[in-house]
Amino acid sequence: MEANIRNLISAEEISAALEKMGKEISDDYRGRDLLMVGVLKGAFIVMADLARHISVPVAFDFMAVSSYGASTQTSGVVRILKDLDNEIAGKDVLIVEDIIDSGLTLSYLLKSLQVRRPASLEVAALLLKEGIQRIPLDVKYVGFRIGPEFVVGYGLDYAGLYRNLPYVGVMEET
Ligand code: IMP
Ligand code: MG
């Protein structure tokens, strides 16, 4: 498929932001055990790179949810495609997201995890689209605040493609 992708955030900028975020998380969770919950598929690259900047003991689990079909518009419908493997009661849970757009996915996830009684529940997202959350959300760790454009790369896809780009770019109409 032909597409024009304009570089928005470079690999170097992402790497520096994740290093900073990892240090902050390590400070905040010092003396505790952390459970990082990655939201598949988009978060797999952020999760892997962020985790390597975290110095407290950390365990991993993954959930898969779907809110978009092959479109660039949010559907408002969230489906759990894969739930966590383990219980989270009493654990310090950090949800790792690639991007927060309308916030519908995250608010659904927060609700469904909160009732399982974790010791704490926070969110780390590489990208936050500013000003368009339909639901006010408390995202503790944010890499970059971006505009409303549709982005790909670094885990983010369009119709399943471009997740492997080492940078974040904007899809431009051709
Ligand atoms: P939300 O529920 O609208 O916040 O959307 C969250 C999910 O939609 C993200 O985890 C992504 O999988 C996807 N998404 C939202 N915006 C973009 C984008 O600009 N590019 C690629 N995927 C996106
Ligand atoms: Mg996602």
CA separation for the pair 28, 32 (Å, rounded): 9
**Residue 74 Cα: closest atom of ligand 1:** 3
Specify the pLDDT at position 131. Answer: 74
Ion ligand 2: protein residues whose beta carbon lies under 5 Å: 42, 98
Domain 4-172, architecture per CATH:
3-Layer(aba) Sandwich (3.40)
* Position 84 pLDDT exceeds 80: yes
* Position 160 pLDDT exceeds 90: yes
Domains of the chain by residue range: 4-172
Instruction: Name the DSSP letter for residue 130.
Output: T
Top-confidence residue, 107 or 137: 107
Q: Which pair of tokens denotes residue 7? A: 């570089």
Band of residue 1 on the pLDDT scale cut at 50, 70, 90: low
Specify the pLDDT at position 102. Answer: 85
Specify the pLDDT at position 138. Answer: 86
Candidate list 49, 92, 98, 101, residue with the active-site label? 101
Buried b (16+ CB within 10 A) or exposed e, 55-89: eeebeebbbebebbeeeeebeeebeeeeebeeebe
Q: What's the 58 CA to ligand 2 centre distance in angstroms? A: 21
Band of residue 33 on the pLDDT scale cut at 50, 70, 90: confident
CA separation for the pair 36, 50 (Å, rounded): 10
Q: What's the 43 CA to ligand 1 centre distance in angstroms? A: 11
**Residue 78 Cα: closest atom of ligand 1:** 2
For the CA of 163, the nearest ligand:
1
Specify the pLDDT at position 130. Answer: 86
Q: What's the 31 CA to ligand 1 centre distance in angstroms? A: 33
**Catalytic-residue membership of 49:** no
pTM assigned to the model: 0.92
* Position 134 pLDDT exceeds 80: no
**Residue 133 Cα: closest atom of ligand 1:** 4
